[in-house]
Amino acid sequence: MAATPSIAILGTPGSWHAEALCRCCRQTGLTGTVVTWPELAATVGNGPPQFQPHAVATATAVVVRGMPTGSLEQVITRMDILGQLAATGHRVLNRPAALETAIDKYLTSARLHAAGLPVPRTTVIQSATALRQFTEACGGTAIVKPLFGSNGKRITLFSAETTLLPEPLFVSGIALAQEPIDNEGWDVRILLVGDAVYAMKRVAPAGDWRTNIALGGQPEPFTPPADWIALARQAAAAVDTELAGVDLLPARDGSVWLLEVNAVPGWRALQTVTPHDIAAAVIELAVAGAG
pTM: 0.92
pLDDT value of position 1: 35
6-93 and 122-178 agree in CATH topology: no
Residues 182-273, CATH architecture:
2-Layer Sandwich (3.30)
pLDDT value of position 151: 60
pLDDT value of position 291: 66
How deeply is 120 buried, as exposed, middle or buried, from its count of CB atoms within 10 A (0-12, 13-18, 19+)? middle
- Ramachandran angles phi, psi of 124, nearest 5°: -85, 130
pLDDT (tens digit per residue) in 177-198 = 999 999 999 999 999 999 999 9
Residue ranges of the chain whose pLDDT lies below 70: 1-3, 149-153, 291
- CA terminus-to-terminus distance, the chain: 19
Given a contact cutoff of 8 angstroms between Cβ atoms, the answer to whether 178 and 112 are in contact is: no
Q: Could you tell me the residue ranges of all domains in the chain?
A: 6-93, 122-178, 182-273
Q: Which CATH number fits domain 122-178: 2.20.130, 1.20.120, 3.40.50, 3.30.1490?
A: 3.30.1490
User: How would you classify the pairing of strands 186-193 and 122-125?
Assistant: unpaired
Looking at residue 118, its amino acid is P
CATH number given to 6-93? 3.40.50.20
- Ramachandran angles phi, psi of 27, nearest 5°: -70, -25
pLDDT value of position 153: 66
Given a contact cutoff of 8 angstroms between Cβ atoms, the answer to whether 181 and 190 are in contact is: no
User: Can you state the angle between helices 226-239 and 96-103, rounded to 10 degrees?
Assistant: 110
pLDDT value of position 72: 86
Measured between alpha carbons, how far is 4 from 7 in angstroms, rounded to an integer? 10
